[in-house]
Structures are given as structure tokens and as C-alpha cells.
Chain A
Amino acid sequence: MAEVLPAEGLLATSWLLIALPLAGAAVLLLGGRRTDRWGHLLGTGTVVAAFLLAVLCTVRLADVEGRSVDVDLFTFISTGELDVRAGLLYDPLSAVFVLLITGVGALIHVYSIGYMAHDPARRRFFAYLNLFVAAMLLLVLGNSYVALYVGWEGVGLASYLLIAFWYTRPGAATAAKKAFIMNRVGDVGLALAIFVMFAQLGTTSYEGVFGAVGTLAGGTVTALGLLLLLGACGKSGQFPLQAWLPDAMEGPTPVSALIHAATMVTAGVYLIARSAPIYDLSETARTVVMAVGALTLLIGAIAGCAFDDIKKVLAYSTVSQIGYMFLAVGLGPAGYVAALAHLLAHGFFKAGLFLGAGSVMHAMHDQVDMRRFGGLWNKLPITFGTFGLGYLALIGFPFLSGFFTKDAIIEATLDRDDWLGWTTGGVAVLAAGLTAFYMTRLMLMTFFGRPRWEDGVHPHEAPPVMTVPMVALAVGSVFSGALLVAVFPLSDWLEPVFGEPEEAEHVIEPFIIGIALTVIMALGVLAAWLFVGRREVPVTAPVRVSPVTRAARNALYADTINESLFMRPGQWLTRALVWVDNRGVDGAVNGLAAGLGGSSSRLGRTQTGFVRTYALGMLGGAVLVAGALLAVTSG
């Protein structure tokens, strides 16, 4: 890592990036109904201001020696040997994330003004979105794992609040709980990793940890890598914690675009890329990261082929694409830049696709079933155009962004030239074909064919406040790949973080891989046309289908497995514990109390109320005492 200088001038004010959206959220939440009229404008304004500040900061950063500055803020925790300073690290890696978060975030805020125009709780929506942006910026800007953890939990909270934004719908409330609980499972891993750092190194700042990680035993480093991976899997919807992400689509569509496609779910990739010095030391951890990525990208691609809910297909596509990024970061130094390029390109086209899906839903009275769409291309021309460009970018159409970034990942994987590289690379190539298949299926079912609309639906194009962000993201999805790979190479910009890019020895010429992937993509498109485009799409899903389709429709039984493996045994355990508590612990305490109560009421019967009985008792007692005294003194 390059040397980190203390921040000066404009860069020293980069804490404003976090403070602006946070202040927006505070004003909107505390201001209540008084802010209803202009709340959405304030919410959008703070994020746009943060974006402008981020651009200025990044330009300034480019001139700084080593391109990494540290912004020391205040003492966060200080007790005994434990001293945690709150501070920000503005380096090329956080800079690209800040630009992505504020840039895409600002566009989605603008879009939401139109999308949520008729929702009575629009102000609350913008407050939560601002809260999310603030937490996410803290996550990527923090200069220690503790700061990252605070942001990590903050985005989890914002995600929970936004999935359950329409909390009166049972589905949304359940999905939010599911997301929150599955994230907790992952967060335990991240928390344990931080505890290990405290215990072994006594510090959690990136500088301190990465400086001293080389002194740790190999097993400890691997444990750190695996625990961080668990945290990353939870946040990024990776196997085995992928099931929450598709359900999270119950939230409003801009939320799906911003949080569950472009930014928050990529936090896992950020975590692993940021922890590169740890992963560089543990071959095992990297292998597990690659395996998780390859498995998830296949699961996501298979499940994406079977769903009829447009947002769920896009959600599984997100799961699958983040799988690609995990596969790439698992490669180590060869893959970090490829992963981040794909992450940025994905941020553009997937956010654009989700906004397009939102526009379609807007036009179709919140219908999400693609079997009820069809023939929308001439009714929604701008949506069709932008969605189509995002689609082409995602499936890797030549010279659009996905083509550059996904190919780079597959190339880097195959360049390993060992069994792991060939297996995971093969899976990635197969999934590229599946991606083309399910996305073409989505396009055909939504925009082409005979209209299968419900009665009374009259599709109309969205207002400009929604279409302008879609156009901007479509432009990004067309050009970002070429810009990041060829014109302004991301590898040069990230050089202070990941070191000098090595000239890889190619096992297969990149040119041949590019052609092969284009052919596979074309095969996927052709297959989709054969299966979906050529025939009428039935309005209800066919019931008699092959076991493979049935498994894919159930997302490869991920929920069933989770339920039978974790939830049911967990329920049994809690039931057993409740039984032990009620019968055992409570039984002992209650039994003691009941025994004392019973015996005392029985003893109470001897209190007859007859004075002479008492007198006899006293006399007897006195005689006994006297007798005892006599026996003692005379004996």
C-alpha cells in the first residue's frame, strides 16, 4: 500500500460527504409532516451536493502524492489499551465507491421524486434513502474495520426500513425481517473477525492491521479471511446466504435499484478488496471465495431463468453478477481490478434495468408478472430503449460495458491454468450463456409478443423526472466498460491500493475468449428466442414442467434447505429450551414456593383463636425450657 498522508484543504472536509445526507435524514425524520412539501427536494439536494463534493475531492486526490489521504476526526472509543480513532481514508478504492454511491444515488433520488409522487409517505422514503447513503459512505470511507462495521450495520438498518417501507403488506414485513436476520448471520462473522483483530493485533485500523497481518500465524489469517467472507456473503447475497436478496424486492423499486443492485450488496466485494493484504496471505481463504462466487453465480443464473416476477429475475441476476465479482476478488491481485470494474459497470446497468422495471410497473399498475406484460416496446419507447441498452450491457454484447468487464473476469480466471481456474472459469462461461438466456426471456416477455395486459391497463411513458435518470444510466452502461478498461484504465487509478498491474500470461488469447463468449451469448439469446419468443406466452405458468424447471422455480430449494437445516432445528431447540425453562427452572422455583405456601397454610390451622390453647402452649414451652436448664445445670 502507498503511504497515507494526512488530509489537507478540500480533502479534510470530506467528512461532509457523510454529514450532508445524514443531516438530510435527520431533518426529514425529526421535521415530521412540516417537511412533507419540500422533503424530497432536500433529500435529493443533499445527495447531489455530496456527489459534486465527491467529484471535487477525487480531482484533488489525483494530485496528491500516493493518492491516499487520511482524515483524522475524533476518538471513538478509548478505554484502557483499546483506543479506536474515528477517521476517514480517502484513497482510490474508496473514491470510486464514493463516486458510484453518490452518482447513482443522486440519479435514483431524482427518479424517486417521480416514482413516489403519489405515495403519502414520500418524505419518510427520502429520509431513509438519505440515511442509507450516509451509512454506505461511512462504510466505504471509514479508515478502520470498526468504522466500516458502523456503516455496515447502518446500511443493514436502512435496507430493513426500506424493504418494509410498505409495512402494511405482510409480504414486505416478512421480507424485511428475513433480510435483517440473514444479514445478522453474516454480521456475526464480521464482528468475530474484528474481535480476532483486537485480540491478536490490538488495532482495527486498516493501516495497523495490514501492517501487522504478516506476523500472524497462517491459521489465524485464514480464519480472519473466512470470517470476513461470511460477513461479505451475508451482505452481498452470496451462497449460502443468498435467499434474502430476491425477497427484498418487496421494497419500492428505487430501493431495489440503489441498495439491492448497485451499492449495498456490493459492500461484500468492497470488504474483500479492502482486505486484500489479508487474503493475499491465505490461499485457502481465496479458494473459498472463488468457490462461493462460482457456486453463487451459477445458482443465480439458473434461478433467474425460471421466475416470472420481473424484479425477482433481476434480483437473481444481481446475485449471479456479484458471484462474478466474488470469483474475481478470490483470484487475488490478478482479479481485484477486474472485480471492481465489473462492480462499477454493474452499478450502472443493473440500476438502469431496475429503474426500467420500475417504469414498466408504473405503467402497468404495479404488476410484476411478466406473463401479464408483452408488446410494450412501442408504448414505452424511452423505457424500452434504456432497458434494452442495459440488457445488452449485462449479457455482454460486444463493446458495451459488460463485454469488457465480464470478459476480464473470465480471462483472469482461466489464466490461473489449474483445476480451480478451469472449473470456476467453465462455470462462469456457462453462466454467461444462461445470463443471455434469462435476460432475453425477460426482454421478450416484457416488450415483445402479443399484449397480455390485464383489463383496464393503459400503459403510458413515465414523466421526464423518471426517464432522465434512466437515460443517464443507459449512457453509463454503454460506455463505462470501455472507459474503465481501455480509455482510463481502472488498474492505473487503483495502483496505490493494489500495486502495479502485472502483465498476465494468457493461456488463451483474450481475442479468442471474446469471440467465444460472444458466440455463447448468441446461443443463449437464440435459445431464449426458441423457447419464449417463437411461441405464445401463456398467461398462467405451466404446471406440468420438468424437475429442473421446478427446482429453478424454487430457487434450487434454498429456502427449503435453510428451513430444514437451520430454522426447524432452531425452532426445536428453542421449544426444548422453553420447555426446560417452564418445567425445569420455573418448576423448581414454583414448586418451592408452592411447598412453602402449602405447609404454612397447614401450620396456620394450629392457630385456633382460643386463648387457652396458646396459654397451654406457653406453659408447655416454659416447662420445657426450665427442664432443659435444669438438665444442663445439674448434669
Chain B
Amino acid sequence: MTLTYYLVLAAILFTIGAVGVLVRRNAIVVFMCIELMLNSVNLTLVTFARATGTVDGQIMAFFVMVVAAAEVVVGLAIIMSIYRTRRSASVDDANLLKY
């Protein structure tokens, strides 16, 4: 069974996404990295669904996609409005919300 390959690929994708979120400053890139992490999870869900022969995982993957789509809408809108007021899309520049 080639289950392992899919899972390893998902892990690699998740790691790339996580590292991207942590090291990149551009909000759009960070956003895409989050999408990458979500999709790696989707891959894992679908893989296990195939392995167990049930559809639970696939249904779950659809839910994740819906949430991700909604999140993209809201997130991109926030990034757009921050960029308009600050002329910057760096996540480090938006740091006023603190102690």
C-alpha cells in the first residue's frame, strides 16, 4: 500500500506551510502558507478515507474546503484594508494590538 507516500507528502506540505507562516513577513504569502497547511490536512483526511473505505474523511475534507473559502474571503478583505491604510502588507507592521 502506498499510504505512507501520501502521508509523508502531507507532512512535508504541512511543514512547508508552518515554516512559511513563521518566517515570511508578507501577509499574502503567510495566507497562502495557511492554505497549504489546510490542504495538507485535507490530503491526510482523504488518504485515511481511502484506507478505511469510508466517506467520513472525504466529507470532512469538504467542510475544510468550505471553511477555507470563507476564510479566504474575510482574510483577503482584511489584508486589503490594512494595505490601503498603511501602504504595507507586512504582518510585522500591524503590531498595535498589544499590552
Contacts and interface: CB of A to CB of B under 8 A. Distances in A.
B21 A609 contact: no
Nearest to A615: B21
Contacts of B21: 612, 615
A607 B22 contact: no
B98 A615 contact: no
Contact of B22 (A604, A608, A609, A619): A619
A565 interface: no
Nearest to A600: B99
Given A612-B21, A619-B22, A607 B99 contact: yes
B60 interface: no
A605 interface: yes
B94 A611 contact: yes
A612 B99 contact: no
Given A619-B18, A619-B22, A612 B92 contact: yes
A610 interface: yes
A609 B91 contact: no
A557 to B, nearest CB: 67
Nearest to A623: B18
Interface string B5-47: 0000000000000100111010000100000000000000000
A616 interface: yes
Contacts of A611: 30, 91-92, 94-95
B1 interface: no
A297 to B, nearest CB: 78
Interface residues of B, number: 14
A601 to B, nearest CB: 8
Contacts of A616: 22
Chain A contact residues, majority secondary structure:
helix
Measured as residues with beta carbon below 8 angstroms from the partner, the interface class of chain A is: 10 to 19
Interface in B44-99: 91-92, 94-99
Contacts of B92: 610-612
A604 B91 contact: no
B22 A605 contact: no
A493 B96 CA distance: 97
B91 A608 contact: no
B91 to A, nearest CB: 5
Contacts of A607: 98-99
Contacts of A608: 95, 98
A607 B99 CA distance: 6
Contacts of B96: 609
B22 A610 contact: no
Q: Of A601, A605, A611, which is in contact with the most chain B CB atoms at under 10 Å from its CB?
A: A611
Interface of B: 18, 21-23, 25, 30, 91-92, 94-99
Given A601-B99, A611-B94, 16 more contacts: A605-B99, A607-B99, A609-B97, A610-B91, A610-B95, A611-B30, A611-B91, A611-B92, A612-B21, A612-B22, A612-B23, A612-B30, A612-B92, A615-B21, A619-B18, A619-B22
15 contacts: A604-B99, A607-B98, A607-B99, A608-B95, A608-B98, A609-B95, A609-B98, A610-B95, A611-B30, A611-B92, A611-B95, A612-B22, A612-B25, A612-B92, A616-B22
Interface of A: 601, 604-605, 607-612, 615-616, 619
